[in-house]
Every structure is written in structure tokens, then in C-alpha cells.
A and B are shown apart, each in its own frame.
Chain A
């Protein structure tokens, strides 16, 4: 496969989430201008920060006249979950040159992780072309996010009420389509159920903290139930073969 084919694969896997993101780019741009912020401010934020939920949180804090250090540290907390993605992807980027890793780091958003990570799992994204698949996803989200931000700044919400349509359900459905293939083994069920329950219970925490804590809980529950299943297996195998340690 050539570079373009790899990139197209990443872009195609991202389509439903790109559609789901459009109203939010428009909403972000129009909210920023309705708060009386300079058009350049919103455009620059989408171009340089490129972090959907953190950008909305920052707008809210600016509207409350929060000090800069509060805005920046809140952004840090809201984006902390990306550390988990990075940790998971380390094994796929370690052979790449530093500038490429920097670009991939800049583009590490929920949606691109969600779109590309399963492709690494199936081998569709390999050592040679995985980063190209990733770039295809990143670039298509980056273009969508910046174009819709500019449109939102220029003309408010292009279609009034568009963010009420529920287009972001496309993202929900895509995430479900990514989760379900994992559910062949019990530890992944435990992981999903615990993360889901925790995220609802903790949904009142500020700054996406509930999301972060729930994710860590889900990973921990998955890990420990995985170890428990393994122990059970090795005990059973040991008995079957008549060898005990």
C-alpha cells in the first residue's frame, strides 16, 4: 500500500466521528464570538490547542473571568486522559523519527485514538504504515475542526439549533462499535461495566475528573480480573497435567 492508501484508511475510519464533530466546531466558533472574544482567539485556539472539550471548558472559564493559571491547569486536568492513550500507543511509535512522533502527539485526540487503535490491533495499521493511517485520521479531524471553527466565528451557528440535533450520537455509536469486539473475554466486560457505573456515579465531578477516574477504575478492574482468570487457568492446567509448582 502507498502512503495515500494508508492515509485514506485512517480518514475513512474517522468519518462517522467527523460528522458528529461538525456541530461542535460550529458551536465553539459561535460561542467564542458571542462572548465577545476576538475571532482570531477562537481560530488560534482550534489551530494550536486542538482539544475539543478543553476548548469549551476554557471558554466557560474565560466567561467567568478566571485567572490564566486556572484556565491552563484546568486544561491540563481535562486532557490528562490522553496520557493513557499515549502510554498504550508507545509501542507503535517508538521506531518513528522524533518529528513524526511530535506531530502524532499533537494530534492525539479521543477520536483519532478510537479510530486508529483498533486498526493496530487487527494489523491493518502496521509498523510501516500505521503512522500514515494515524495521520490520515488526524488531518481529517484537524481540517474539520478548524474549518468549522472559522465558519462558526464568521456566521454564528450556520444552521440554528444544529447542536440540538444529536449528531454527536454518531460518535457514541462509533465508540460502541469499537468497544463490542473486545467483549469476547470476561475481564473486558468487567472493565466496561465498572467504568460505565463509575462514570455515571462520578459525573458530578468538575473538569472531566469523573471521566478520568472512571477510566482508571475500568483499567484496574480489567487488569485484576484478567490476572484472576489467568490464575484460575494455570491452576486448572496444572491439575490437568499433574504438575504443580
Chain B
């Protein structure tokens, strides 16, 4: 890539990325969120985070792996169970990560 192309790629990527992230913040004091939207937006964390991690857990190698030989699934289930049971974030992370790495190691034996 030429220098000009490199600059254009980075400039273009910067503009669209920053634009998407900033456009609503820029108008935040004028934007009046309709009530229905505000009620819908409270589902954003659960919806987006679930959509990010579910494929990572269920298809770590791009195909479905609902099996006890999938450390991502085992670690995810353990974290989920602890999270529902205790709702302490640190404990949830810790148990999930330990189960994941133990399972990964055990399966590789």
C-alpha cells in the first residue's frame, strides 16, 4: 500500500468508527429519548454481550460443539451457574476461568 492509501484507510476508519460512537453523545443534551426506547435500551447489555459470547462458547472452532470436550462450554456453564447462584462478579470470573483452563488441560492430555 502506498503512503497515501495507508493514510486514507486510517482516516476513513477513524471517521466512521468515531462517528458511530460519538454522534449520539454530541447531541446528548438535545436528544429526548422516547420512553419506549429507554425501556428497550435497558436490554442492550444482556443482548449484545450474549450475542458476542454465545458463538465463542458453542462454536469455538466455527462449528457446533455441544460436548463435554469443549472447555469453552464447560467454563461458560460453570461461570453462568455461579453467576446465577451468587451474583459476585469476581467469583463468577474466577470459577469460570479455573474450570476453563482445567478442562482445556485435561482434554489435551
A contacts, CB < 8 Å to B: 16, 37-38, 40-41, 44-45, 48-51, 54, 58, 62, 68-69, 71-73, 75-76, 79-91, 93-96, 98, 101-102, 104-106, 108, 110, 113-114, 117-118, 166, 168-183, 187-188, 191-192, 195-200, 203, 210-211, 214-220, 222-223, 226-227
**B12 and A71 contacting across the interface, CB-CB below 8 Å:** yes
**A215 and B44 contacting across the interface, CB-CB below 8 Å:** yes
**A181 and B28 contacting across the interface, CB-CB below 8 Å:** no
Measured CB to CB, the nearest residue on chain B to A20 is: B97
A to B contact number (C-beta, < 8 Å): 269
Q: Return A16 CB to nearest CB of chain B, in Å.
A: 5
**B residues near A40, Cβ cutoff 8 Å:** 6
A19 to B109, CA, bound (A): 26
Q: Return B93 CB to nearest CB of chain A, in Å.
A: 4
**A49 and B45 contacting across the interface, CB-CB below 8 Å:** no
**A110 and B52 contacting across the interface, CB-CB below 8 Å:** yes
Q: Return A101 CB to nearest CB of chain B, in Å.
A: 4
Q: Answer whether A71 and B13 are a contact pair too, CB < 8 Å, given A105-B21, A173-B79, A191-B47.
A: yes
**A169 and B40 contacting across the interface, CB-CB below 8 Å:** no
**B residues near A179, Cβ cutoff 8 Å:** 45-46, 49-50, 83
Q: Answer whether A38 and B36 are a contact pair too, CB < 8 Å, given A172-B75, A192-B50.
A: no
> Within residues 1 to 35 of chain B, which ones have a CB less than 8 A from any CB in chain A?
1, 5-6, 8-10, 12-18, 20-26, 28-29, 31, 33
**A50 and B9 contacting across the interface, CB-CB below 8 Å:** no
A183 to B52, CA, bound (A): 17
Subset of 23 A-B contacts with CB under 8 Å: A16-B97, A45-B10, A68-B8, A71-B12, A72-B15, A72-B16, A83-B20, A86-B20, A88-B44, A89-B25, A90-B25, A110-B52, A175-B50, A178-B45, A179-B46, A179-B49, A179-B50, A179-B83, A195-B48, A196-B51, A198-B51, A211-B52, A222-B47
